[in-house]
């Protein structure tokens, strides 16, 4: 499964033999749902238990706040 991380526009690949949850992806990448917007096939996903199909287009968008 290929995943694009924005704004870095870096593409990484995660090996998976079947579907995977949002939380499993974030855990593999040592990321937290509070710091990332997960976009699957153009739709923002907030549920960590959402199952992502292997052929889905996945983007992880880093969110930040300034002070």
Reported pTM: 0.85
65 pLDDT above the threshold of 80: no
Spell out the domain ranges in the chain: 2-62
24 pLDDT above the threshold of 80: yes
Q: In the chain, which ranges are continuous DSSP H helix?
A: 22-28
Q: Looking at domain 2-62, does it have CATH number 3.10.20.30?
A: yes
**Of 63, 18, 17, 15, nearest to 39 (Cα)?**
63
Residue 52: band (very low, low, confident or very high) from pLDDT cuts 50, 70, 90: very high
Residue 12: band (very low, low, confident or very high) from pLDDT cuts 50, 70, 90: confident
**Of 36, 40, 63, 62, nearest to 51 (Cα)?**
40
Rounded distance between C-alpha atoms, residue 23 and residue 21, angstroms: 5
pLDDT digits (tens, 9 = 90+) for 31-43: 999 999 999 999 9
Inter-residue contact 39 to 52 (CB < 8 Å): no
């Amino acid at each position: 499964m290929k995943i694009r991380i924005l704004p870095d526009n870096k593409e990484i690949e995660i090996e998976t033999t079947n579907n995977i949850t949002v939380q499993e992806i974030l855990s593999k990448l040592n990321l937290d749902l509070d710091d990332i917007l997960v976009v699957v096939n153009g739709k923002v996903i907030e549920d960590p238990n959402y199952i992502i199909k292997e052929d889905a287009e996945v983007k992880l968008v880093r969110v930040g706040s300034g002070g």
